[in-house]
Amino acid sequence: DGGITQSPKYLFRKEGQNVTLSCEQNLNHDAMYWYRQDPGQGLRLIYYSQIVNDFQKGDIAEGYSVSREKKESFPLTVTSAQKNPTAFYLCASSLGADSPLHFGNGTRLTVT
Partner 1 sequence: GIQVEQSPPDLILQEGANSTLRCNFSDSVNNLQWFHQNPWGQLINLFYIPSGTKQNGRLSATTVATERYSLLYISSSQTTDSGVYFCAVKDTGRRALTFGSGTRLQVQP
- Per CB under 8 A, residues contacting partner 1 are 31, 33, 35, 41-45, 48, 50, 56, 58-59, 88, 90, 92, 97-103, 105-106, 108
Cβ of residue 9: shortest distance to partner 1, in angstroms? Answer: 10
Of 16 and 40, which CB lies nearer to partner 1 in the complex structure?
A: 40
Quote the CA–CA distance of 72 and 47 in Å, as a whole number.
16
User: Letter for the amino acid at 4?
Assistant: I
Quote the CA–CA distance of 44 and 96 in Å, as a whole number.
19
Of 18 and 99, which CB lies nearer to partner 1 in the complex structure?
A: 99
- In sequence order, what are the residues at sequence separation of 6 or more whose Cβ sits closer than 8 angstroms to the Cβ of residue 42? none
Of 33 and 64, which CB lies nearer to partner 1 in the complex structure?
A: 33
